[in-house]
Each structure stands twice: as C-alpha cells, then as structure tokens.
Chain A
C-alpha cells in the first residue's frame, strides 16, 4: 500500500532540456492513476523518477509519506512493467517471475506458491518452462505483469504496457488490468498515450504536455470540462471541434458566439461570464457528438457542405465544412446517409458549446459553479440535447 506524492518535481538534461517541469501530483493509496499525453510530454520520465530509474533534478518525491528522492529503486518496494516487457531473455518464465523474490531471499515454498498464484491469475501456468523468445507478445506482456505481481509491491508502475499488443489483445488486457486492480486494490500508475486506455481504465487522469501537468481529474470530468484546447483536442477521436469565433452583442442586448454562418446565442446566465470577451475573438469548442443531423430542442441550425462520410459501423463520422473553409466533425447515427459535396444542415445546442481564450488557450469558465467539475457534468446530463444524440 502506498500513496505517492510529487511536489514540484522537475527533470532536466544537460545542457538545458527540461523533460519534466514543476510537476505536483498526489496519487492516493489504492488509486488507478493514468499519466496521459503525447510522446515526449514527460509522462514516462515522471514514472521513471517515481521508480528511481531516473534521478530527480528538483522537487520532492514522497512514498507513503517518506521522502524518497535518494532511495535506491530496490528499496522503494515498487514494481515496474516496461513497455517492451524487459524480460530476462536467458531465463525461463518461472525464473523471470521468481527472480525478484530469490534476490530478496524469500523462502522457496513461498516463491513457489506466489509464482503459481500469479501464473494462474494471468493464465500463463503452461508456459513456466519456456524462455521469453518462445512467447508471443501477449504472453510476454503477461509474464512482465506476473513478475510485478509476485513481488506484491506497494505500488505498480506501468509504462505503456499495452502499446505493443494488437488491438484485440489490448482491449482484453485493458479489462484484465482493471479487474486486477479491483481485486488487489493496489496503487497503480499507468502511463499511456492512448486516450481510450486513459478513459476506460483510470480512476483519475493526469494529462501532461511539454513536461507540465495540464489537467488532473476523473476521466469523464476531464472529457466534459477540458482545461484548455490541448486537452479538448487530445481526448477522444475525433477530437473536439475548435473554431475561431467572436463574441458579439445581439440586437436584444444579449451575447452570441459567432463563427461564419453559425450564430450561437449565449444563455442569460452566462452573460456576465462572457461579457469581458465582447467584440473579441474566442475559440469555440463543440464535441462531435454535440452536433445533430436532425432538429433538437433548443438547437441552432447551420448549413454546411459534406467533405467526407466515414461509416464506422456502430456510428458514422461526418466531416463537413463551413463556407469559410473550417472543417468540423460530427458523430452521427449509423443510419445517416450522405454524399460528399452535397449540402447538409446540422444542429448545435448552444449550452453544449465551450469557449477558450485564444491567447492563453485556457477554458473560459461560464460561472463560479463551472469551476466545480461535477457541476457541469450533471448539468450536461440533464440537458435535452444529450439524450437526443443523432
């Protein structure tokens, strides 16, 4: 059992490359935390610093309340699963699994039992006498996981453990890992660049970019309330549509957000929040699933031209463009039929739009309550458009 606390942690490489920059994060005991970000964002380096495989340039790392910056990796009681598994190629699966225990002089009977248990749990009992070279990618992955399991460490650190698996196996292992976490209740820090993994596995997601944390929160909370345009465009495929827009004054005295022919009136409750942006440019964000092919209550119609229709089976991704040229994606029902080049009317519910400041790229809060994450999710769930998707 371990809680892991990072306080203002930085990692620089000479001459002056900053891989991780002032990262503070509290991973609670028993939590499944995801470090998510594009390659080079510092997520793996952060994980390796927790493990002790990488020295910490500045800041403090606390493991279960004790400062651990200078503690040797072997004394941190953490298990690490590597992206390419890092099995010992000259040892059998059995020896790979038991190596850590043998080094710690665990009694033989104990080793035997723990290896058997882990092998059973992961379904690799029949492979114990084989060497890694004779295993498939999925089997190696399980052995790597097993090696971590038998140690019964305080926490598991997983560095993109699923990225070398094929799509089907990956989906299966995602579920397995979540089940495993539920069963063991151990702290897990899982690094990935795959937003599907992040959304489906984590209790909380920590999104990183350029060595800094951009946002931390529960998956849906981060999804519904992205802190900036980076998070908005990183989570989900297709990502949130981001359009250059302006906040303009309506004839009746209210406000509207305008992009080309799309004119979205701002609800009166938000006038105060958006007032500072009057007559100024903003970035308008609309999730693809918040664009509808048929009229919805409160929906504003906009006429677009179809660029491409991607029928995925369970749903259809429609790519359309504004007369001005900006492209937007929408996630529609699988029954949707359309022809590239033909006009298409779509509907947008103004309450579902999000605005970002073009200078800072940060999300513009609509009210004080908006800053409280759960509020917005609840509000969205209650909104009429959400139930009428497609």
Chain B
C-alpha cells in the first residue's frame, strides 16, 4: 500500500475516534450522555486546552523540563550500560558474581524507587533522571552484554588472523558489535527514558508533563489530563521519528528489514 494511502487511513482512524467521542460526550441520548463529559471531557475542550497552553506558552517550560530529564536519563543510563555491560562481558567472573544482584534490581518495579530518589535527590529534575536511568541502564546493559558475548567466532578469528591485538579486537570487533545491539534497542531505551521522567514528575515534582497531568487530576480537571496525555503522545511520536532518523544513519551497514506494504 502506498504511503499516502496509509497516512489517509491513519487520519481516518483518528477522525472516527474523535467523532465518536465528540457525539457521545456532547449530545444526550434518551436524557443521558453515553460518555459523561465530567469524566471524559470533550474533544473540543481538550483541543481548546492544548491550544491555550501553546498560545499562553506555559507548556514549553514543562516540555523543556521533561525533555531535559529524559535526555539526561538516556545519556547517563546509556553510558553506564555500555561501560558496565562491556566490563561484565569481558570479565566472566565479575558477571557471575553480580548476576543475582543485577536480576534482583532489574525485577524491582521502578515506581517503588521513586520515593527513595525523591528523598535522596529532592523534588528537582535529578530524582526523575535517576528513575529514568534505572530503566534505560538495564536495557542498554543487557544489549551490550549480549552484543559482546555474541560476536561471531569466525569474525573474531578473522580479526586475530589479520593481526589484531587484544586492544584492536576491542575497537574493531567487540565495540561495533556491542553498539549495534545497543542501537537496535534505541527505540525502547529512549521510550523508557521518557517514561521515567514522566512517572517521576507524576509522583512529585514542580514542573514537567507528568506534573501537569497530576495537577489536573488533583482538581478533577479531566480536560487537563487528556490535554497533557495528548501533548505527551505527540512528544513521544516526534522523539521516536528522530530516533529512526539517527538509527538509519548509524546502522547503514545492516541489511534493511523486510519492507512493509507489499
């Protein structure tokens, strides 16, 4: 199917959902709303709220805070994940010793860590960054670890026979292999960085999209909650598109997965 057709269908889906929502929340049938506007708001109210945020420019500050937190969480989590993943993969004894602890921490629902991070790091951005880091780190860590472990033995032997020293093997074989695994999980890790930031804000903050949603919820302002969710959704889609762009540049050497839409 052509891209234009797909885009048209995508817009159609949104239009139908909005239309149904609008009809059910604006018009009464047999004396009652199918979707009570107190609980479901209306598309018009939500759109008006979003417009107001952008018109009054209050939203930019919250977006900037969330974006900063997500970027910091992604950068720190990735750096730590690459470093420690590499280190563990090259030192099997260390990996064996830490294995149960890594699994234990990874199994922990991150939400329970949020209060601790707030206590340690305060209500500012760093407690949210920390939450994002705990999410991003494990994704990158496991991928890099796997990437180093699963270097093709033939490629490795070839590197040796071509005269590579242990250091050159790291640079020309292990490192690119590990990074390719990390990049292949880029969408997930960037997504989780945003999740960490928003959840952290939701649980206690003074700014950010999560804070905005939480504030609206606190006063039963459903239009505000939906408007916050909408802005967050668009924000994530834009970031994801950016990641795809970066990915295409970084992974030029990989075969493209089968094209969709034959």
**Does B associate with A?**
no
Q: Which residues of B contact A (CB under 8 A)?
A: none
